[in-house]
Amino acid sequence: MNNTVINLGLAGLGTVGSGLVKIIQENNDWIVRRLGKTLKVKTIMVRDLDKPRNVVPSADTTFTTSIEDLLGDPQIDIIVELAGGIEFPRQLITQALERGKSVVTANKALLAEHGPELFELAAAKGVGLYYEASVAGGIPIVQTLKESLAGNRIKTLTGILNGTANFIMSEMSEKGEDFSTVLAKAQDKGYAEADPTLDIEGIDAAHKLVVLIRLAYGQDFPLERLIIEGISKVDQFDISLAREFGYRVKLLAQVRDKSGLLQGGVYPALLRQDHILAKVDGPFNAILLEGNAVGPVMLYGQGAGDLPTGSAVLADIMALARTDSAPNNTGFLEARLPQAQILAPERTVFRHYFRFTVLDRPGVMASIAGVMGEHNISIAQVVQRQCAPEAGVPIVFLSHSAQMNNVSAALETIKKFSFVLAPPVHYRII
Ligand code: NAP
Ligand code: HSE
């Protein structure tokens, strides 16, 4: 882009949009020093023109509710989509790309569900579709996978990709606070999605994982084929017991390359307390990956919030403002990435944590252990707690590595025993 002023058409002036505007205002001189160009927020599209705003863009910024004021303005160089949702941004971004305008977005939900067709369109038009802020807020993982680690085959990638869920797990673990109190705090602080079930049911992390799998493996892993388990049913009791065993419970997003097949999922899991990801607390995010040349790499930082996320959006805008060559959107040459070769979830292998609530009577432990043995599940540790016996007593088993189809079959059998008083609790151990 040759002009000395880069005009931005911004859709959305909420948490992230406001953060972006603040950074552009505060760091204007710094941006000019790096780009030799000024960034100007020319037009802002919002839903409600009368809503009070906590940032004041420059006096000549136009506010609008009309998509045409962004797309039909030939002076607007880059469309920045920070509205969220699916249908409106899909329409906005598709039309922007069709008209030859580059786009920056933080919208992982849209990219996870409609990324393939949007990237194909961007490639056909030779324009940019950049999305650093869509995964892990301020952490530069998109650029890292696309450029810095481009020469590596990625063996595994494990991320704490949802700040809201990590904040909830940390506060429940450290302060013993209950789930809904901590969720309300996360919403107050602007970490949570407009619909917080996306955060707590693991869907937001799954959206981000789909984006990362494309970048790391050049394959399209459909969202519906990921294992997705959230944290809404994680019990304080298991968090405390896990601590006693020396573990922390975290919502993890994980992909592993198993001899050419990808195993991917989002689930609450137990991590040893000395594992580097176990120390990632509060709303912070982290990604630990293993490249076949570089070895282990970990990135850590703020995964949500106005300024951290605005920082990532701004980096994309500056990258597009700098380039005159064809933008590198996915990191791969194909206009449409191939479908992932996927390892079936039932064939995945983990160590496991099981908790059964049972009647305290002779033979119970032996019956459960017997079923585990029949399903090739080897027990590593067992603990029985003496609680109020009429409500049943908890028995916790930690297993060695076992295949998921065996685990599912064992749980199906065990839950039918008359001495089992509540649905079994099960987590993977990483
Ligand atoms: P937000 O605070 O809810 O703000 C959304 C903004 O978009 C508001 O200004 C809203 O207008 C506008 N908007 C929504 N629908 C619109 C429509 N149909 N037409 C015109 N304007 C519309 O959202 P946010 O938290 O900033 O998130 C924005 C995007 O960034 C989402 O895709 C989210 O997943 C992603 N993201 C967020 C974070 C974070 O920390 N919050 C981090 C990473 C990525 P009004 O102000 O008039 O209502
Ligand atoms: N709701 C998301 C989170 C925002 O809590 O991580 C960042 O994508």
DSSP 334-375: -SSPPBP-B--GGG-EEEEEEEEEE---TTHHHHHHHHHHHT
pLDDT value at position 389? 63
Q: Is the CB of 163 under 6 A from ligand 1?
A: no
Asked whether residue 332 is domain-assigned, the answer is: no
Q: State whether 163 and 282 are in the same domain.
A: yes
Q: How far apart are CA 300 and CA 286, in angstroms?
A: 4
Indicate which residue's Cα is closest to atom 1 of ligand 1.
14
Q: State whether 284 and 238 are in the same domain.
A: yes
Q: State whether 232 and 147 are in the same domain.
A: yes
Q: Which tokens hold the place of 218?
A: 């050049």
Please return the burial class of 50, using the count of CB atoms within 10 Å of its CB with bins 0-12, 13-18 and 19+.
exposed
**What separation in Å is there between the alpha carbon of 326 and the centre of ligand 2?**
30
DSSP 420: B
Which of 322, 354, 375 is the last residue before a domain boundary? 322
Q: Are 396 and 355 in contact (CB under 8 A)?
A: yes
Please name which of 298, 295, 274 lies closest in space to residue 284, comparing C-alpha atoms: 298
Catalytic residue among 208, 250, 415, 416: 208
What atom in ligand 1 is closest to the CA of residue 49? 47
Asked whether residue 223 is domain-assigned, the answer is: yes
Q: State whether 294 and 315 are in the same domain.
A: no
Q: How far apart are CA 254 and CA 259, in angstroms?
A: 16
Q: State whether 117 and 17 are in the same domain.
A: yes
Q: Are 43 and 10 in contact (CB under 8 A)?
A: yes
**Amino acid at position 376, single letter:** N
- Give the CATH number for residue 59: 3.40.50.720
Asked whether residue 224 is domain-assigned, the answer is: yes
What atom in ligand 2 is closest to the CA of residue 191? 5
Q: Which tokens hold the place of 117?
A: 């067709």
* Cα of 331 vs its chain's centroid, Å: 19
Asked whether residue 339 is domain-assigned, the answer is: no
Asked whether residue 135 is domain-assigned, the answer is: no
- Helix axis angle, 306-322 relative to 28-35, nearest 10°? 30
Q: State whether 182 and 160 are in the same domain.
A: yes
What atom in ligand 1 is closest to the CA of residue 192? 41
Per-residue confidence of the chain (430 residues) as pLDDT tens digits? 767 999 999 999 999 999 999 999 999 999 999 999 999 999 999 999 999 998 988 999 999 999 999 999 999 999 999 999 999 999 999 999 999 999 999 999 999 999 999 999 999 999 999 999 999 999 999 999 999 999 999 999 999 999 999 999 999 988 888 898 999 998 988 888 889 999 999 999 999 999 999 999 999 999 999 999 999 999 999 999 999 999 999 999 999 999 999 999 999 999 999 999 999 999 999 999 999 999 999 999 999 989 999 999 999 999 999 988 889 999 999 999 999 999 999 999 999 999 999 999 999 999 999 999 999 999 999 998 776 667 789 999 999 999 999 999 999 999 999 999 999 999 999 9
Asked whether residue 136 is domain-assigned, the answer is: no
Asked whether residue 402 is domain-assigned, the answer is: yes
Cβ neighbours around 65 below 10 Å, total: 10
Q: State whether 423 and 374 are in the same domain.
A: yes
Q: State whether 42 and 172 are in the same domain.
A: no
Q: Which tokens hold the place of 191?
A: 């970490």
Number of domains forming the structure of the chain: 3
Asked whether residue 179 is domain-assigned, the answer is: yes
**What separation in Å is there between the alpha carbon of 166 and the centre of ligand 1?**
21
Q: Is the CB of 16 under 6 A from ligand 1?
A: yes
52-89 pLDDT tens trace: 998 988 999 999 999 999 999 999 999 999 999 999 99
pLDDT value at position 388? 65
Which of 263, 289, 322 is the last residue before a domain boundary? 322
Terminal Cα distance for the chain, rounded: 46
Q: Is 248 helix (H, G, I), strand (E, B) or coil?
A: strand
* Residue 136: φ, ψ to 5°: 60, 35
Q: State whether 180 and 255 are in the same domain.
A: yes
Confidence (pTM): 0.96
Q: Is the CB of 67 under 6 A from ligand 1?
A: no
Q: Are 81 and 107 in contact (CB under 8 A)?
A: yes
Compute the C-alpha angle 346/349/355, nearest 5°. Answer: 90
If one residue of 13, 15, 134 were mutated to test the ligand 1 pocket, choosing by the most ligand atoms within 8 A of its CB, it would be 15
Indicate which residue's Cα is closest to atom 4 of ligand 2.
304
Q: How far apart are CA 168 and CA 405, in angstroms?
A: 30
**What separation in Å is there between the alpha carbon of 216 and the centre of ligand 1?**
27
pLDDT value at position 190? 82
- Give the CATH number for residue 198: 3.30.360.10
Q: Which residues have C-beta atoms less than 6 Å from ligand 2? A: 137, 162-164, 191-193, 199, 204, 303-304
Q: Are 349 and 401 in contact (CB under 8 A)?
A: yes
Q: State whether 268 and 227 are in the same domain.
A: yes
What atom in ligand 1 is closest to the CA of residue 110? 32
**What separation in Å is there between the alpha carbon of 44 and the centre of ligand 1?**
12
DSSP 47: S
- Indicate if 155 belongs to the active site: no
Q: How far apart are CA 401 and CA 230, in angstroms?
A: 22
pLDDT value at position 386? 73
Q: How far apart are CA 332 and CA 215, in angstroms?
A: 8
What atom in ligand 2 is closest to the CA of residue 135? 8
Q: Are 133 and 307 in contact (CB under 8 A)?
A: no
If one residue of 46, 142, 161 were mutated to test the ligand 1 pocket, choosing by the most ligand atoms within 8 A of its CB, it would be 46
Q: State whether 200 and 267 are in the same domain.
A: yes
Q: Are 11 and 79 in contact (CB under 8 A)?
A: yes
Q: State whether 244 and 95 are in the same domain.
A: no
Domain that holds residue 387: 345-429
Q: Is the CB of 107 under 6 A from ligand 1?
A: yes
Task: For residue 133, give the ligand nearest its CA.
Answer: 1
